[in-house]
């Protein structure tokens, strides 16, 4: 199914994506009122939102197809390719690549996750042996994604080992006057040259239904059944048809054959749900095993840690306390700042957890603990106005969310974004 068909289906079902977990305040983005927002439509067409991964040496993959080599010798341990996709998540693309080729998911490596909506380009690596055995299949996978520009490399990609992403965003049907737009863009450009932007996690980190962090919290509490039940039956920002289907799942919970039959195999929206239910049919009530086998376990735990990061950073910004970094928690997290320790413990205790509980949780061994900067700079910001269409281009460091930048400058009239 093409993206625009999905978009039309969402419009018919009157889906409005306006319920989000975090409502940012004036102290989160000081001086925002100095420019007037641009009123227009984001995400109108599938190529209105483009993302190009920028490697650690500041090379992006936007022109990968033009640079494709004709003669290649694969003499190293790995093959690096450019994955170009639209209307599908990185997770889903990797899972489908694995299913079609037989290459295990854990051997398909990438540095970061990209948006589902829009056109995105990113690097992946495959073992050379598997690539050579399956290359005829690899280049004929799916209309939603393709792999191009294979190159031999001795290095396997690792999560986080990139500079960031370059974005090209088109805003259509603008109602502001041209002079007003020029003034706003100049003021915003001046602002980002003089100020850093708070490094909050964006709304999509918490899923379409804004509950990924709750699933992660229940996982850490070892209530694995509740975690999966929330994942399969939660429905905050979905169409009425999808909400009805999830209500039926709730009524028939633990009757996995019936639950599996409720969801349409033709509906792309339920693709990952059906994978989970197929595992539950096979493994009955092994809820932890299903979380592990579907590679969701630490994804949701990470989402909970992203939620904690946002909560602590919002509290610090409210009190105008500046710190350079905050931790994404794990069993070895060390605190040198007593106030930061107290804030994390305060929010953890509200959820029935504590910092000390990580030391005694056998799930903690797989947690990717790390430090995250609390602010960043927007780089290479450009804009171009063509009649009532505005094209924005900018680079963000790894982990920064473009939608939070767009929210600062665009009053979006099109609420039907697909994630």
pLDDT tens for residues 23-32?
Answer: 777 667 766 6
Average confidence (pLDDT) over 35-50: 92
- Please answer whether residues 371 and 133 qualify as being in contact, where contact means their C-beta atoms are separated by less than 8 angstroms: no
Cα 373–Cα 377–Cα 383 angle in degrees, nearest 5: 145
Cα distance between the two ends of the chain = 15
Per-residue three-class SS string for 10-24? HHHCCCCCCCCCCCC
Average of per-residue pLDDT across 326-335: 92
> What percent of the chain shows pLDDT beyond 90?
62
Q: Tell me the three state secondary structure of residue 138.
A: helix
pLDDT tens digit sequence for 258-313: 999 999 888 888 988 999 999 999 988 899 999 988 888 999 999 999 999 999 99
Q: What is the pLDDT of residues 140-161, one digit of tens each?
A: 777 789 999 999 999 999 888 8
The pLDDT of residue 3 is: 40
Cα distance between residue 210 and residue 269, in whole Å: 16
What does the alpha-carbon distance between residue 88 and residue 389 come to, in Å, rounded to a whole number? 26
Q: What pLDDT, on a 0 to 100 scale, did the predictor assign at position 31? A: 62
Helix (H) or strand (E) segment spanning residue 144? none
Q: What is the pLDDT of residue 49?
A: 94
- Give mean pLDDT, residues 105-115: 90
Q: Which token pair is 348? A: 């953890």
- CATH for the 57-160 domain, from 3.30.70.3160, 3.40.190.10, 3.30.9.10, 3.40.50.10470: 3.30.70.3160
The residue ranges of DSSP E strands in 22-156, in sequence order, are: 38-40, 49-55, 78-86, 109-110, 119-127, 145-153
CA pair distance 205, 225, nearest whole angstrom: 22
The pLDDT tens digits for 201-247 are 998 899 888 999 999 999 999 999 999 999 999 988 888 999 999 99
Helix (H) or strand (E) holding 95: helix 90-101
Where exactly are the structural domains of the chain?
57-160
Residue % of the chain over a pLDDT of 70: 89
3-state class of 325 per DSSP?
strand
């Amino acid at each position: 199914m093409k993206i625009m068909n999905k978009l039309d289906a969402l419009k018919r079902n009157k889906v409005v994506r306006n319920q989000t977990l975090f409502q940012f305040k004036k102290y989160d983005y000081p001086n925002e009122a100095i420019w007037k927002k641009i009123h227009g439509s984001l995400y109108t067409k599938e190529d209105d939102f483009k993302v190009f991964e920028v490697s650690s040496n500041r090379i992006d993959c936007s022109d990968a197809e033009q640079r494709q080599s004709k003669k290649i010798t694969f003499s190293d341990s790995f093959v690096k390719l450019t994955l170009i996709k639209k209307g599908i998540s990185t997770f889903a693309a990797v899972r489908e690549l694995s299913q079609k080729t037989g290459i295990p998911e854990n051997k398909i490596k990438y540095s970061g996750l990209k948006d589902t909506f829009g056109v995105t380009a990113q690097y992946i690596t495959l073992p050379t042996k598997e690539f050579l055995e399956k290359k005829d299949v690899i280049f004929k996978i799916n209309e939603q994604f393709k792999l191009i520009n294979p190159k031999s490399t001795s290095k396997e990609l690792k999560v986080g080992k990139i500079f960031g992403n370059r974005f090209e965003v088109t805003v259509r049907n603008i109602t502001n006057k041209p002079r007003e737009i020029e003034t706003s863009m100049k003021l915003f450009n001046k602002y980002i040259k003089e100020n850093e932007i708070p490094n909050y996690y964006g709304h999509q980190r918490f899923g379409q239904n804004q509950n990924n962090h709750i699933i992660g919290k229940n996982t850490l509490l070892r209530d694995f059944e509740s975690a999966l039940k929330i994942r399969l039956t939660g429905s905050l920002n979905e169409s009425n048809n999808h909400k009805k289907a999830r209500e039926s799942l709730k009524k028939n919970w633990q009757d996995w054959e019936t639950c599996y039959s409720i969801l349409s195999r033709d509906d792309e929206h339920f693709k990952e749900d059906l994978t989970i239910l197929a595992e539950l049919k096979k493994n009955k009530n092994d809820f932890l095993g299903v979380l592990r086998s579907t590679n969701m376990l630490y994804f949701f735990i990470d989402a909970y840690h992203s939620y904690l990061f946002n909560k602590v950073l919002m509290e610090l910004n409210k009190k105008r306390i500046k710190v350079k970094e905050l931790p994404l928690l794990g069993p070895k997290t060390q605190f040198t700042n007593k106030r930061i320790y107290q804030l994390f413990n305060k929010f953890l205790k509200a959820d029935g957890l504590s910092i000390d509980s990580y030391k005694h949780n056998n799930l903690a061994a797989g947690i990717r603990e790390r430090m995250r900067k609390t602010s960043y700079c927007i780089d290479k910001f450009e804009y171009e106005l063509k009649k009532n269409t505005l094209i924005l281009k900018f680079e963000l460091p790894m982990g920064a969310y473009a939608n939070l930048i767009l929210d600062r400058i665009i009053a979006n009239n099109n609420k039907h974004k697909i994630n």
